[in-house]
Structure formats: C-alpha cells, structure tokens
Amino acid sequence: MSERLAVIALIGMVATLPTALAAPQVEYLDPTRPSGWRAPAVAQEAAEQQPDNALKLQGTFSVAGIRSAIISGRRVAVGDVVSGAEVVEIEKNRVVLKRDGETVELASATPSVKAPAENGRGLQ
C-alpha cells in the first residue's frame, strides 16, 4: 500500500512541476519612470484605438516668432494638415483647425511651465 501512495504522490508532483517552474508574470515598476509614462507598444496600441478624428493638442511652441504645435504626436505649423484638418492659427495653449469647412479649436489642458521674463533678462 505504501508503494502505491508513493507512486501516486510522485505522479502528483510530476504533474504540478510545469506549473511550479513557470515564471510568474510580475511587472516590476521603475521608480525613476516619469508619471504617466507608457511603454512604446502600449502607446502604439492606444494610438491605434483612437479614432482618426480624435486630435489632441500636446503643446505649443514659439521659436524666433514662429509658432508650432504638437498635435497627436506630430509637430505642425500654420498651413499644415493633420488628420484631414488644416492648421489655421496657433496661439499659446490653443490651436484653431479647419476640417470640412468647420472650425475646430483644440486647447491644451497642460498649464504653461514657464512665463516669459518681464524685463527681458529674467525675473528680478
């Protein structure tokens, strides 16, 4: 009888061995990773899930008086076309687009990081 129990116990251990040896699916978080950061594959999947007409203003810039913006991950200037909409106007934290004769306004939810200096030499 004890041989029979030993054989049954051995079969049970062998049957559970693949499960015991499988590596657990644990995601280790990087404490230095910026808040809201997503791995490129996840970001790509999210972009594919967004409809073509879902445009998101991510920021506006002005260099030497020339304004540009980042809309849905693409840098654009006045006159450029993004997802079928023409960029008509770029202002601080706001972009005006025209699509199919309709005016669309995108506003940035992100506040300005830095204000321009009042006297041109920095705040004093």
- Span 33-79, pLDDT tens digits: 777 766 666 545 555 555 545 788 988 988 888 999 999 889 999 99
pLDDT attached to residue 98: 94
Domain boundaries, the chain: 54-107
Highest mean pLDDT among 16-20, 31-35, 120-124: 31-35
In terms of DSSP H, where are the helices of the chain? 2-21, 40-49
CA 99 to chain CA centroid, Å, is 24
Q: For the domain covering 54-107, report its CATH number.
A: 2.30.30.830
Residue whose C-alpha is closest to residue 93's, from 49, 48, 61? 61
CA dist., res. 34 & res. 24, Å (int): 25
Q: How confident is the model at residue 111 (pLDDT cuts 50, 70, 90)?
A: low
Residue 35's φ and ψ, nearest 5 degrees, are -60, 135
Residues 98-109, mean pLDDT to the nearest whole number? 88
What b/e readout covers 41-68, taking b as 16+ CB neighbours within 10 angstroms? eeeeeeeeeeeeeebebbebeeeeeebb
Residues 117, 108, 55, 40, CA torsion sign: positive
